[in-house]
Structure 1
Amino acid sequence: MSTTSINSAPASGGLRRRFGLREAITITAGSVIGVGLFTTGSNVVGTLGPAVILATLLALVVSIYPALLYGEMGAALPYAGGTYQFASLGLGRGAGVLAGWNFIISLVAVTGGEALAFSYYFRTIFLAFGVELPISDVVLASIVTLGFIAANLFGVELTGRLQNAFMFFFWGVAAIWFLTMIPNVHLPYFVQAPAFLPKTDALGFFSATCMIWWCFAGFEACVAMGEEIRFPRINIPRAMFLAPFVVFAVNALFQWYLIGITPAEHLTALSTAEAPFAEAMVSAGILGFPLALLAAGIAFGGDFSTLNASISTPPRYLFSMARDGSMPKIFAKTNRFQCPYVAVATLGVLTVALIATNSLMYIASLSLFADLFYYVIGIVAAWALRRRHPELERPYRAPLIAVGAPVSALIYLAMMTQLDREAFVTGIVWCVIGIAIYLVCSRRYGRGGEFSLDLKASGAADQPDPKERAAMDREYRIWVAVVAAACVLALALFILPYVAA
């Protein structure tokens, strides 16, 4: 099947396919590894102590099957817009708009939170040497956000190069920091810590797991840029197979070090710290270069990679929705770099507005509401697409969808019950605004304003030649081996203190 039409307009306005597997993984990982891990996710360590690994494992488990569903949908329908397109075709345009609209506010919130997290750790670089910057977190966060908005206007080629640089810088600094911190890790802290922690009941553990899961939210980020990924029917499923495990390995390794370097009597202080890793190192008396190294890796690697990815991805949703006539057409305008510049600039202004709240917990809760909501829609859309469009060519099919999809949707709905009331209300208001704009636009543009993409003409159906396919397979095997080794190492490190005891 060479052409899949969501609507009836002529095929035009597609984006260029420039990203390979590496970019698909680094953009996805970069959208996830950042603000959650180094702020609110690490706050959970102050509540659960070493038991945080159980919450992280549970967060991984509830992420794997939805990632497989996105691998199936992303390969079958490699559009810009991801869940918006899947839900529009599977459930109807209204559901698609709700999904896309919530994806947008989710990553806009991530961007705002990430910018604030950057300001916390950027300050730490100077504080490590006794210098305090005379600038507020809000101003610093806004400046760096505007810088990334400007960079994104130059298109995905620059975005992709920056993303690779930030992610590999982060992993390089992390590896150096891991090695230099080994002498500062105290295995008895893993055994002693529970005695210093408040008692956590089942509901409290579930709530903490939800916050840890926020560190996984965005595992399907590259799917939103489906029109810009080369050989998407191969690369998108592979990226989706790997993404949750990449996130798990990075989170678990950093959690292990955080517990290992924090004196047990100071562990609970992490639950309210703005920069938990900096708090841990200061409480352990680890200052100077080691503290500056960690802060630089988080700020210029983890935070920058998430800022870059989370600023570039939501505009593709808004672009796709505008191109279809579900949002004002002005958001479908692109510049000579094929960047939806109006969408980038508009969402940038919204990001700065969230930064101005200077409340990372509120931003995290708002993002969590939107994440869970659009994932529920996406999961149901995967099941609906199987029923309504069995003719779609699916290079990959998620197993046991009749069981996996409803169970995953129910789990995510249960997680929504743990959200803060203020963020929940804001999320509902955001949904109402989105539907209102959609109704106005659908009346103004009608069906004739919609868009369809010729998958064959877009390059989605292209297949690599044998030599390139062999290189792609080799690259994928290397990724699998490295990610599997990292996951095994992380689990082994959490078991080690109990074996050594």
Structure 2
Amino acid sequence: MAAQRTGLKRQLSLFSLIAIAAGSVLGGWLAEAPYWFELTGAGAAFIFPILAVILIPIGLAFSELASMLPFTSSLDVWASSAMNSTTGWATQWLFFLVQVVEPPLVAFIFVTAADFFVDVPEAAKPLIAIAIMVIWFFFSNVKIELTGLLAIALFILMVGITLGDSIYYFASGHWDFANISQEGGFFPHGIFGAVAAASALVLKFIGFGMTPTMIQETTFPAKKMVTVILAALFIPAVVYFLATFAISGLAPHHVIAQLSTPEPELVKSLGMPAVVGLLAIFSGLLYAFTTLMGFWTSSARVLYGASQLRQLPPWFLRTNKHGQPYIANIVVLAFGIFFAAFTSTNWVQYTYSLSVVAAGAVYFLGCLSAYLLRTKRPEWDRPYRSPAGKPVFVIGMVVSAAITIVGVTLLPANAWPPIIAFLLIGALVPLGMRYYRSHVDPTYTPIVLSPEDVDITKE
């Protein structure tokens, strides 16, 4: 069935989407690094490239699906086509959870950076994080092209600073391999710590999964989405490896785990030039800002896409003169405030666990959709076709299931109330839509998009 013409604007180049995706994957590590070292020590440096390889099957599944069904609704339309609309909505709602918890997470990065200079009261931290999200809300309603150009500039700048700082640490005379070898080695907590870290650090790569939500705003062919997805896996893997290894040699892992902002604090304690620490903070804030941009944009598109399939009211399809779904942006802000209000002092573990559990389920359903559609719709054109096909998708499902199972074991107690509340809201939405159809618009029945609808969603 034909879809409603989109109000989104095609303004994102291949490089700009790579910058958004890779920049979003890299965001937040200024204040998250202590959690990495607490879980597994210096071995975190190796876990990042290993994860990038492990996630390839999931990335290939997403790439094939995005080329075949290039809609903002992405996972929703994939699961709806492979299974049914109910499963599609459930997948989309979980995907929305993965996306929408990121803006409050990175907003707290700004709070942590401020805490390095002044003592910020605990009660004020959620309020500051909410204020930062409110500020970005106004910027979220300008041209997506500006977001893309800003992402490119910030990506080049922040990666350049990180590489420069890392090289300086190695050459500073303060880097000592003994801080690793004599403190339990690369994996001081053994295989359990490595597995726990691998499951938690999957969160750092979820930016690759958000890219299909912007496919109706791209200026390049859908078959090139595989380039964006693989770049979002391997560019951050290399940067994370270098940066984590560079920090690891500056102090023992248990010392780093106790620091709020390891880089600037280590720079200060070791007597390095203050400008090095300031650059680390500056680049960390740029990473956080890029992540905020990327996941906010994706969260709004998830709602827009669900409305495309008539699983949400048509209001979410409304766009302003710049092609921005402004009502969806309002809802993203509301959920950002909701999750920020639930966040406590262990906000890093809280958000990591929350996201990882949902991400694993979303990845599983995405790979399952790719597997089922190979059988159910073999005649559909696949501009990009994943090599090895179904066996790759099965591997992706196994990896996804493992991510979710381990992620559940890491959930802190304060993560359960918002998860339960979020799932209840998701279950109530279809009931609300039944009321909408019976009292407002009986013709507003759910639709499932197919490759035949692609031209209709083009500008």
Q: State the TM-score, normalized to the length of structure 2.
A: 0.88
Pair 1:17 & 2:10 matched: yes
* Distance in 2 of aligned mates of 1:111 and 1:346: 13
Match of 2:143 in 1: 155
Greater shift, 193-202 or 402-411, is seen at 193-202
Aligned partner (choices 310, 319, 327) of residue 325 of structure 1: 310
The 2-side partners of 1:198 and 1:32 are apart by 23
Counterpart Cα distance in 2 of 1:389 and 1:398: 15
Aligned position for 2:241: 252
The residue correspondences of 1:22-61 to structure 2 (distance < 5 A) are 22-35=15-28, 37-61=29-53
Is 1:349 matched up with 2:334? Answer: yes
Structure 1 unaligned regions, length at least 5: 1-7, 461-501
Match of 1:115 among 104, 107, 112: 107
Q: Is the 8 A contact 1:187 1:260 kept in 2?
A: yes
Q: How big is each residue's C-alpha offset from its partner over 1:353-391, in whole Å with a ceiling of 9 and x where there is no partner? A: 222323232122111122111111111111112122112
Tell me if the contact between 1:98 and 1:431 (Cα under 8 Å) persists in the aligned partners. Answer: no
Change (3 A) 1:134 1:320: same
Q: SS at the partner of 2:205?
A: coil
Amino acid in the other structure paired with 1:255? T
Amino acid at match of 1:112: P
Aligned position for 2:63: 71
User: What is the 5 A alignment of 1:225-236?
Assistant: 225-236=214-225
Gaps of 5+ in 2: none
Q: Mark the CA change 1:235 to 1:19 in structure 2 (over 3 Å): closer, same or farther.
A: farther
CA distance in 2, matches of 1:274, 1:21: 36
**Number of equivalences:** 443
Aligned mates of 1:268, 1:197 — CA distance in 2: 12
Contact 1:46 1:269 in 2 (8 A): no
Aligned to 1:431, which of 423, 431, 447? 423
Tell me: CA distance 1:91–1:408, structure 2 relative to 1, closer, same or farther (3 Å): same
Counterpart-to-counterpart distance in 1, 2:443 and 2:247: 54
Write the mapping of 1:130-169 to structure 2, written as runs, cut at 5 A.
136-169=124-157
Residue 385, structure 1, aligned to residue 384, structure 2 = no
1:258 to partner: Cα distance: 1.1
The answer to whether the aligner puts 1:454 opposite 2:453 as a matched pair is yes
Change (3 A) 1:203 1:47: closer
1:325, 1:449 within 8 Å by CA — same for their partners in 2? yes
> Displacement of 1:197 after TM fit?
8.6
1:218 aligns with 2:207: yes
Task: Give CA deviations for 1:128-179 in whole Å, capped at 9, x if unaligned.
Answer: xxx5568933233222211111101113122222222222221232233234
TM superposition shift of 1:47: 4.1
Retained in 2: the 8 A contact 1:41–1:212? no
C-alpha deviation, 1:447, in angstroms: 6.5
Do residues 280 (structure 1) and 269 (structure 2) align? Answer: no
Q: Is the 8 A contact 1:155 1:339 kept in 2?
A: yes
User: Distance in 1 between the 2:434 and 2:178 partners?
Assistant: 59
Deviation at 1:290, TM superposition (A): 1.3
- Match of residue 275 from structure 2: 289
Report the alpha carbon displacement of residue 52 of structure 1 after superposing the two structures with TM.
Answer: 2.2
- The question of 1:316 aligning with 2:301 is answered yes
Out of 226, 229, 235, the residue aligned to residue 237 of structure 1 is: 226
Report the Cα distance in structure 2 between the residues aligned to 1:64 and 1:246, rounded to whole angstroms.
Answer: 13
**1:409 matched to 2:397:** yes
Q: Which amino acid aligns with 1:257?
A: A
2:383 aligns with one of 395, 398, 406: 395
Cα distance, 1:196–1:19 mapped onto 2, change above 3 Å: closer
Alignment partners' CA distance in 2, 1:191 and 1:275: 19
2:185 and 2:170 map into 1 onto residues whose CA distance is 23
Aligned AA for 1:347? V
Change (3 A) 1:99 1:284: farther
Offset of 1:326 from its aligned partner? 0.7
SS in structure 1 of the partner of residue 422 of structure 2: helix
Give deviations 1:202-251, integer Å, cap 9, x for gaps. 33321111112211122122211110112232431211232211121121
Equivalent residues in 2 for 1:338-377, closer than 5 Å = 338-356=323-341, 357-358=343-344, 359-377=347-365
Alignment of 1:334 onto 2:323: no
CA shift at 1:402, angstroms?
2.2
Distance 1:442 1:158, change over 3 A: farther
Give 3-state SS (helix, strand or coil) of 1:327's partner. coil
Distance 1:456 1:30, change over 3 A: same
Q: Which residue of 184, 189, 207 maps to 1:200?
A: 189
Query: 1-side partners of 2:3 and 2:257: how far apart?
Result: 54
Q: Distance in 2 between matches of 1:325 and 1:362?
A: 33
Aligned AA for 2:332?
L
Gap change, CA 1:179 and 1:196, over 3 Å in 2: closer
Q: In the TM superposition, what whole-angstrom CA distance separates every residue of 1:86-126 from its partner, at most 9, and x where no partner exists?
A: 112112111211121112121211111111012212443xx
SS at match of 2:323: coil
Secondary structure of the 1:214 match is: helix
8 Å contact from structure 1 (residues 39, 117) kept in 2: yes
In 2, Cα distance between the equivalents of 1:243 and 1:75? 17
Q: TM-score, normalised by structure 1?
A: 0.81
Aligned partner letter, 1:168: I
- On the 8 A contact 2:180/2:249 being kept in 1, the answer is no
Q: Matched residue of 2:101: which SS?
A: helix
Q: Cα gap change, 1:287/1:93 in structure 2, threshold over 3 Å: closer, same or farther?
A: farther
In structure 1, what is the Cα distance between the partners aligned to 2:272 and 2:338? 36
Look up the equivalent residue of 1:275 and give its one-letter code.
T
The residue that corresponds to 1:80 in the other structure is 72
Deviates more, 1:406-415 or 1:374-383: 406-415
Q: Where in structure 1 do 4 or more consecutive aligned residues deviate above 6 Å? A: none
Task: Give the Cα separation in 2 of the matches to 1:286 and 1:309.
Answer: 33
For 1:158 and 1:110, locate their aligned partners in 2 and report how far apart those are by CA, in whole Å. Answer: 21
